Structure 1
Amino acid sequence: MKIADTSGQDVVLAPSKNRKKYLFVAIALAVGAAGLSTLAPAISNWSSAEISVPLQRLRLAQVTQGDFVRDLSVQGQVVAAVSPRLYSPAQGTITFEVDAGDEVSVGQVLASIDSPELTNELEQEESSLQKLIMELDRQRIQAKIQQLENQKAVDMAKVALTAADREKRRADKAYETNTISQIDYEKAQDELENARLVYQHAVQDGNLDLERLEFEIQSSQLQVDRQTLLVSELKRQVDELSLRSPVNGIVGNLAVQQKNQVARNQAILSVVDLTQFELEVAIPESYADDLAIGMDAQVNFNGETHQATLVTISPEIENNQVTGRVRFASSTPQGLRQNQRLTTRILMENKANVMMVQRGQFLESGNGRIAYVVSDGMARRQTIETGARSLSSVEVLAGLKPGDTIIVSGTDQFDGAELVQITN
């Protein structure tokens, strides 16, 4: 049985010309050619790039020209500018007159020390001083007596000289009239010469004896003066057994208990003056050589910036830090409390019209000598030279120009590549 198909119903159609198809093909080819010309540089860069890094993993910054301020930000602790600590001047028993936290004024007795040894030494030295003074007075009396004796000898010698001179004149007249012999005349001359020598020696002996007495009195006076100074020093030490407040303020913690024995130079207590405050700052050791006393500082307190000055720098390094003191330039801000922590900015250097860029990890990655300059989606390695560094910026000496955009994040991920592609 033959099954009939539908071939008899089919109609053969002639193919029609589709112009729109060719138009679409031409447009597609033109767009492809334009896109190829546009992407050609990108394709060339991509082919020459050694590594590709997403933009999200990078941090960029632009090189600028302006004033560069080299600063250091540290945490400062508010401390009393004047907080003297009192020490025991001698060994003894302590008796406190105040308690911790009491308000005191200048000169007020805070504590006293009973030191029998020091008190007894003062009494002994005072007795020795009185003995030396009496000895000095005795020498002065003896000196007056001796001076009187010397003057008596001089006067007697002068009388004898006058008598001898008179006898000599009588002998001269008698010898002229031949009433005395030659021997008697020469004897009168000898007696005059002898009286003259005795008088001269008496005067010289008196002068020398006067110098000796003055020297002995001066020596004794020096001993008295020395002993007086010793007694004065002991009196000062005894007076210092009463510990007095050097400032107006409050008493800090007591270092020893009431009626305890204390040793010489042992800490007793401290007095805190709460009217003046300073900031004690801990500065990293790496900045120690760049700091100097007198540098300007800025203290941030309650949203306000207060001008200050770096006044001290410790020469010792502890825990890789040096300790400094910052003092407010004007009056102390109201509301400060001891042990309060504030942010302090120390201005170490100020340069005008320099080239700089934001500080970043790229400094450590390339030791401040390598930077990657970004242009048209590519980062090219560039040799640079950097100078001073602050907390936020770094000075650029060579290798870059204002307006350049560089990668300031870490560049260790580039492995030293000369050209890096940045993808979105």
Structure 2
Amino acid sequence: MKHVIGLLATLAGLAAATGCDGRAATPAETTGRPAAAPGVVEVPPDSPMLAQLKRDIVKLVDLPTDEVVAPGKIEANPNRVSKVVLPVSGRITSVLVKTGDAVEEDQPLLTIASPDADSAMSAYLSAQATVTQAEAALGKAQADLDRASDLFEHNAVAKKDVLNAESALTQAKAAVQQAHASREQTVRRLSVLGLTASESRQQVVVRSPLAGKVLELTVVPGEYRNDTSASVMTIADLATVWVTSQVPESYIRFVQIRERVEISLVAYPGEVFEGRVSRIADVVDPQTRTVKVQAEMDNRAGRFRPEMYGSIHHIEAVAKTVVVPAGAVVENNDGRSIVFVETSPGRFEQRQVSVGKRAGDVVRVVNGVTPGDTVVVDGVMLLKGMLRPSARGPREPGGVPNAAAALGCGSESAPAASQENARRSAIASGAGVPASLKK
């Protein structure tokens, strides 16, 4: 019901501003003031229509006058992408993450039941036993040397006995060093398998090599994997991403490493992002005659995703440019671009403008308005419908009648329609209906 009342109020406002002969009602007909000039619409200050007209200011901004635009798409930074492989063959017992999850460096990703883990642990235990034996032999060799040296001082043994004890001690020290080196080898093997020397389990834990997001996952629990060279998971740090584009070879001379570029994305229309050229390919594609250019973007906010489409804008020159919001520009019936400028409160003047290329949510304007002018950006079609026919241009066949005609004006029943409009306006405003208008 509220929508109906709101519509009636709007139509009533239009009826008050539009005559029943298919033309805009002049101030002389409604208020006794002089008639508005062609191309001018005057809206009474108490008209509900004013609330529907959104205005904005004509601005003078810096915009590129010459630029290279190349289509591209977002890719993960290849320097921050890791393909996770299994350290051993075995059966996947659990997968601890899913695609899209954020992971930290060294976080467990999955576990594998593998006989290789048991053999690695056995090798470690054997190496540890060898270390223990070698250290015991070293202690004995040291004691034998001490005893032989003491006996030699008391002329109880020959010099060769001392020399033999010293040789045995040297060999014992070498054996201890070798035993420790062998044990360290087995410890490193355990570490690769996700195990420690204090554990005795057969479950191998695969951990994340870096912090990032899981982009791809190709294993499920229960699956047996024998190929330790195949990737089972892709993890990428997306704090920075690359936009890869193909720049025509005729423009590549303008692009330099570390140069700032503007990037637009299909996913975020009207927004412009900043990047810096990080790589320019050394060869030209012989098929397309283009050169691959990659620009790096900050993505700590996480808005950019690999495979998003967009384009790189390399700006060659910038100049001060007059712009208006794109919604302010419409075409009249003969195809000319126009805007409505509010020259004083409630007075809107139609201006013909010459427009240039669109830049995001604004349009370049060559002439017709000046910075600081107030233009209508929402409700433009309402004002266009209230123009005198001569100001709107030739009426198109099958065109939509103006707002006054939509209320039933222009027919033989115009007086009755005017009374009905007045009655509806009174209802919409919440006022009582005069007795003269009651049915």
Q: TM-score, normalised by structure 1?
A: 0.46
Q: TM-score, normalised by structure 2?
A: 0.44
